[in-house]
Amino acid sequence: MQARAMGFLLFIAGMGGLLYGIDVGIIAGALPYLESTASVAWHLSAQQLGFIVAAVLLGSVLSSLFAGALADLIGRRWAMVLSGVLFTLSIPLIALADGYLPLLLGRLLQGVSGGLIGVIVPLYLAECLHARQRGRGAALFQLLLTIGLVAAAVIGLMQAHAVETATAAAQHLAEAERTAAVFAAKDHAWRSIFWWCLTPGLVFTIGALLLAESPRWLARRGRVEEARTALLRTRPADEAQAELHEIQQALAPSATATTPATEATAPAADPLLSRRYLLPFLLACLILALNQATGINSVLAYVVNILNQAGLPGTTANAGDVVLKVLNALMTVVAVILVDRKGRKFLLMLGTGGIVTALVAAGLLFRGAESGQHDVRPALQARIQSDSLSLQLDAATLQSLGSTSTTPQQLTVAYSYGPFTNVQTRRSDDPALPLLHMSREDTVQADSVIGAFFRKLHLNPFADPAEGMTAPLHIERADLAAVPSTTHGWQVAAAMCLFVAGFAVGPGVCVWLALSELMPTRIRSNGMSIALLINQFVSTMIAATFLPTVGQYGYATMFFWWAGATLLYFLTATFLLPETKGKTLEEIEAHFAR
């Protein structure tokens, strides 16, 4: 019975990791089709597309604000149930969206669910598992997270093949009919990708209802007998009694302590700004922030776009996405085996070292490709009529822009109407050959309630539509270049494989352990919420600015920035992080009290 209960606990907690992985990864396969259809039908800007990608991360930020307090209020189990319900509700909202706002709200709701899962499931595992199993349990959460990424990538690949088949079938049609058929196939593809995610959400929600509550949460509520019963579900009686005694000692007031050893387990009387709380809290926050500054969530979300930009076409880029995420899962298995043998510190150093190497290599590859760009800004600026510009990247347009090459070409244009900016990219080998259209109506967004409120306070953090309505169209950057070769694409894919392998074997597993192990018992739930809030804030900012940044400054700049942040991560793991392998939560807490 104990083995069966432990297996069920790990399975449902792992399903939480699966949902978190789907949260992060599902947009990668959907984004190219969403960009091709929604940007045309709903006139979405690059910034709005970035917001759709980043909305999941922003939702995680919002839910991280109250995840710890919610888990303390209603318990870890019911908080997990709530997160599953929210994820399940988000799917139809996204898949049936008929405009920007419902799509954004659905992604935001999906992110709220992910934020709750990211805090509560590792917290639940840390409080329910024995010290000798805790590393493997957290690694299992990460393993199922990577399987979620693989599942999302496979779904994206299936839809990519469907789009390719529909495109081939439409080749004999007239241009207008062919364009409409390809558009419909792509619109159906991204909606179907999200529908596939409904089943795991239901499994996690129902499974969480059948779990036992965390024994440490029960003990803090004074429900000692229930805590004992919860421990007995997964432990022999002697181990359950010994651990319950240790939990009660950690929660006891310091007045009961008579030795230095017991004083270390009685944190309740210590001030919150004492060394034992402040140092592990700050270290966990730093590690969580640097974990996202590697760019991992943006790489996973934009990997199909990155590989397309690097030179891998259509379904090949989707296949590359699957390869990356399968590798991620396999290397996570390696991490599961090593995490309780080699320790957290060693794996973090190994992983971050590999990530720095991969990011520098990818940055150098993109720098080489971007150095061949041809500036066509004067030519496009001269074609502007009535503050708008429309063109198709067909043979005649390429010739007028000075290109005589027979290889596929890519045009990237960054433009603005006053404070409102956008970036659009077109490839000459796109079967639909969509129109590149720049107009004030599609770029200048209507004022929002929030923007109007802040302008009344003279803070003005948002662009003012009044300025955009009078400003002329200005081409800020326009570069025409040959689409990189397939060989170049595979070289970038190899660098991304090294990136993902390094992340999976080190930060991917160890970050969840750092989050749950470093936080002392007294501040664990709220401290984890704050640390994950910082983590998701960094991730949201990177994801929201990714498309505008690479449009303005190129992919190489982004990769070099991530490499610098990861180098700082490596130094932090080397010189600041203590080893926590094989130690109880109370022993780790005592380390920082010395």
Round to whole Å and give the CA distance between 353 and 274.
33
- What percentage of the chain exceeds 90 in pLDDT? 12
Q: Residue 537: is its pLDDT beyond 60? A: yes
Better pLDDT: 472 or 171: 472
Question: Is the pLDDT assigned to residue 255 strictly greater than 70?
Answer: no
pLDDT tens figures, 319-354: 888 888 888 888 878 887 777 677 778 888 999 999
State yes or no: pLDDT of 450 exceeds 60.
no
CB 28 within 8 A of CB 302: yes
The pLDDT value recorded for residue 408 is 85
- pLDDT grade for 462, boundaries at 50, 70 and 90: low
3-state secondary structure 374-412: EECHHHHHHCCECCEEEECCCHHHHHHCCCCCCCCEEEE
pLDDT at 564: 94
Report pLDDT for 328: 81
What is the per-residue pLDDT for 467?
Answer: 81
Per-residue pLDDT for 481 more than 80?
yes
- pLDDT given at position 361: 96
Query: Which residue type is seen at 477?
Result: R
* pLDDT of 364: 94
- Parallel, antiparallel, or unpaired for β 389-391 and 436-438? antiparallel
> Which of 315-319, 361-365, 581-585 is predicted with the least confidence, judged by mean pLDDT?
581-585
- Side-chain half-sphere exposure of 355, counting CA atoms within 13 A: 34
Residue 265 has pLDDT above 50, yes or no: no
Question: Which pLDDT score is estimated for 144?
Answer: 78
Chain segment 91-139, per-residue pLDDT in tens: 999 989 888 888 889 998 988 988 888 778 877 877 777 666 666 666 6
**Structural tokens at position 93:** 């909202």
Query: What pLDDT, on a 0 to 100 scale, did the predictor assign at position 488?
Result: 92
Q: What mean pLDDT comes out for the span 174-192?
A: 84
CA distances from 351 to 199, 318, 363, 416, 440 (A): 33, 25, 18, 41, 46
What pLDDT digit, counting tens, does each position of 130-176 carry?
Answer: 666 666 666 677 677 778 878 888 888 888 888 888 888 888 888 77
pLDDT on residue 18? 83
Q: Is 89 helix (H, G, I), strand (E, B) or coil?
A: helix
Pairing of strands 409-417, 436-438: unpaired
pLDDT digits (tens, 9 = 90+) for 274-317: 666 777 788 888 888 899 899 987 887 788 888 988 888 778 88
C-alpha distance from residue 171 to each of 69, 179, 186 (Å): 57, 9, 15
Q: Which residues contact 413 (CB under 8 A, 6 or more apart)?
A: 380, 423, 424, 425, 436, 438, 475, 477, 478
Confidence of residue 539 (pLDDT cuts 50, 70, 90): confident
What are phi and psi for residue 481, nearest 5 degrees? -150, 155
Average pLDDT over residues 197-218: 85
Residue 590 predicted with pLDDT over 60: yes
CA neighbor of 183 nearest in space, from 528, 431, 518: 431
Give the amino acid at 215. Answer: P
Provide the 8-state DSSP code for 311.
T
Kindly report the average pLDDT of the chain as a whole number.
79
Which residues 6+ apart lie within 8 Å of 185 measured at CB? Answer: 162, 163, 166, 167
**pTM of the entire predicted model:** 0.66
The whole-number pLDDT of residue 253 equals: 56
How much is the pLDDT for 547? 77
pLDDT (0 to 100) of residue 273: 58
Burial of 149 (0-12, 13-18, 19+ CB in 10 A): buried
